[in-house]
Structure 1
Amino acid sequence: MASANFRKTYFGSLGLQVVQAKPSLETALQGDILDIERLNKLCLWVRIPHAYRPLVWKVLLGTISLAKEVWPFVDAQREEQFQDLKQCVAVLSRPSSAIRPDDNLTASTMVYMLLIQLDTRSPHHLSQAFTPTSLPSLSHLHALANMMLEVCDTSESDAYWLFESFVLKYNVSLPGYGPAVDAERERIMTEMGALQNLLKAQNAPLLNHILSFGKGLDAYCYSWFRTYFANVLPPQSLEGIWDIFIGGAPGIFPYLGLSLLLACKRKIEAVRSATELVYLFTNVERVVDMDAVANTAIDLWERPVLEGMNKDLRKALGYNF
């Protein structure tokens, strides 16, 4: 595969003698102090094996220290805090919910745990406000929480703390945090502008058809970018995309949007109203192969890097363009 050849050469520039992800990660994870730049580069050019992903993401998101000697202490403290937060949700949700402290962790529980953790009100005032009906829509947070649950399928505590780190690092909007909402909208509109430019270059008639119903791309695709596509792609398809994103390349998401639009091109062309288009994009997972969409997005994202190389180097790497 051409992209595999490119990654092999890239590994050589990093001083790695192997291209397999597992040996490369084991090398990167050796030593008392981890090299975050090395891990970033591995995330960009290799798909991280599922078993290693929680640890790699915890390091890159700042959930744990680069110094391994403090991990046991931090893990113990985090586990205790995790159990306390889970207990708080069980207490504050009564009698409106049947949540119990010993229940399996759910995305909803994770969201409520985070809101409790970040809330500065007294327990009395918090208990009065903490009801599902009193909270605004939290669907974007549920999608992110569910993604972390799937990634950390062996540790509920890891899933929660990765979720917390992700939300705080990337300024995901939360109820009552106005600046985060503004920053989030600015990010999304920038990414959607990039998507529109990519689609115009790849298939201008398709873009014109979408825009012909009098609405911009944000009317159809905003939630994709708000959830980092966690509400569209299943976790097993999205994990590799998030590897690249967490590794330092947020520019992957416009390419993922492009790949989705191109994958359902014929369905889009058959649409005759904005309402039909909204319905299609809301249910897009039913009409396309999401694994293929993710792989195409990665290839599209890599291509500009390759196009920066001269023809002889591309040929040496096994590419025919």
Structure 2
Amino acid sequence: MADDPQRNFRSTYYEKVGFRGVEEKKSLEILLKDNPLDLEKLSTFSQRFPLPSMYRVHVWKVLLGILPPHSDSHTLVGSYRKDQYQDIMEALEDEENEDFLSISQAMEEIVEDPVDCYWLIKSFISQFHTKFGDSIPHLPKSLEHYLSQEEPGLLSHLKNSGALAQLPYSLWFRRCFAGCLPESSLQRVWDKVISGSCKILVFVALEILLSYKIMLLGISRPEGVVKFLCNIPQENTDVIVTKAIDLWHKYCGTPIHAM
């Protein structure tokens, strides 16, 4: 797939969670007919098969516990954060919940419809942990390697000051920059993650360090470095992401499924 900076990441997910099979439809119709409020069966089904859009609202309501028996109401409730995504959070380790909530909050700023938002978050989290769960712990070393190639002086400063080990890796790599980048820039990064590469996260982090090199070199305490990197200026992030994508191509060619 050719890289298109204007391609909205949501289009990829609408394709991935779209309904194409016949057997899945038959299975779900039988399930809903037998017992529309069987939460365990619905949860199992939604984990095994992509759902057609005609059923997503129904299942979403059932999982939230807001659909009474035989109800035809199409009224949707507002965002509940933890309550709304409880079925997803139960599948995560406790320490992953805050990362998940940061991603969900960012997604809610991007996607207006709460049902679409729910399924996009569910798919994003599932793909991220399934495909990249084993790779995420190695990304800090990868960042160190590329920083040594691009700016060894800055790397030495971060090491000597003790800041390198305390960089906001969770914010960058586990939360995929949710809460760090504004939504307009975040979509471009997530587009690459969804397309099959978590390594783009390394190059976004690298470009942040390079872009604020002068500022970082002037900070001697690690907590000062972390505080600044967790609250980077928001007006220059589109340029940072563009340069990060250029670095990604420089070191990885034109990757389709890098790392």
* Pairwise TM-score range, normalised by the shorter structure: 0.7 to 0.9
Cα distance in 1 for residues equivalent to 2:240 and 2:249: 14
- Match for residue 100 of structure 2? 141
Note closer, same or farther for the CA distance 1:219–1:258 as it changes in structure 2 (3 Å cut): closer
Cα distance in 1 for residues equivalent to 2:155 and 2:20: 45
Q: Is the 8 A contact 1:151 1:235 kept in 2?
A: yes
- Match for residue 238 of structure 2? 291
- Match for residue 4 of structure 1? none
- Match for residue 162 of structure 1? 120
Within 5 A, what are the aligned runs for 1:1-321? Answer: 41-42=1-2, 45-50=3-8, 53-59=9-15, 62-65=16-19, 74-87=52-65, 102-115=76-89, 118=91, 138-153=97-112, 155-171=113-129, 184=133, 186-217=134-165, 219-285=167-233, 289-304=236-251
Q: CA deviation at 1:54?
A: 2.5
Note closer, same or farther for the CA distance 1:304–1:85 as it changes in structure 2 (3 Å cut): same
Give me the TM-score of the superposition, normalised by structure 2.
0.72
- After superposition, the C-alpha distances for 1:63-93 in whole angstroms (9 at most, x for unaligned) are 224569x7xx7212221011122336xxxxx
Q: CA deviation at 1:250?
A: 2.1
Q: CA deviation at 1:237?
A: 0.5
User: Relative to structure 2, which stretch is displaced further, 194-203 or 243-252?
Assistant: 243-252
- Residue segments in structure 1 that go unaligned for 5+ positions in a row: 1-40, 89-100, 120-134, 173-179, 308-321
Superposition CA RMSD, Å: 3.3
Percent identity of paired positions between Structure 1 and Structure 2: 20
Q: CA deviation at 1:103?
A: 3.9
Secondary structure in structure 1 of the residue aligned to 2:152: helix
Give me the TM-score of the superposition, normalised by structure 1.
0.60
Q: CA deviation at 1:223?
A: 2.5
Secondary structure in structure 2 of the residue aligned to 1:148: helix
Cα distance in 2 for residues equivalent to 1:74 and 1:138: 27
Q: CA deviation at 1:105?
A: 2.1
Q: Is the 8 A contact 2:172 2:201 kept in 1?
A: no
The residue identity in structure 1 corresponding to 2:146 is: L
Q: CA deviation at 1:221?
A: 2.7
Q: CA deviation at 1:242?
A: 1.4
Q: CA deviation at 1:305?
A: 5.7
Cα distance in 2 for residues equivalent to 1:87 and 1:285: 41
Q: Is the 8 A contact 1:58 1:64 kept in 2?
A: yes
- After superposition, the C-alpha distances for 1:126-171 in whole angstroms (9 at most, x for unaligned) are xxxxxxxxx6673211121123223322x21111111111112221
The residue identity in structure 1 corresponding to 2:120 is: L
- After superposition, the C-alpha distances for 1:172-223 in whole angstroms (9 at most, x for unaligned) are 7xxxxxxx9xx74x52231111111111111011011111123544543332
Cα distance in 1 for residues equivalent to 2:213 and 2:242: 17
Give the number of equivalent residue pairs.
221
Note closer, same or farther for the CA distance 1:305–1:216 as it changes in structure 2 (3 Å cut): closer
Q: Is the 8 A contact 1:192 1:218 kept in 2?
A: no
The residue identity in structure 1 corresponding to 2:127 is: K
Say which structure, 1 or 2, has more relative contact order (CA 8 Å, 6+ apart): 2
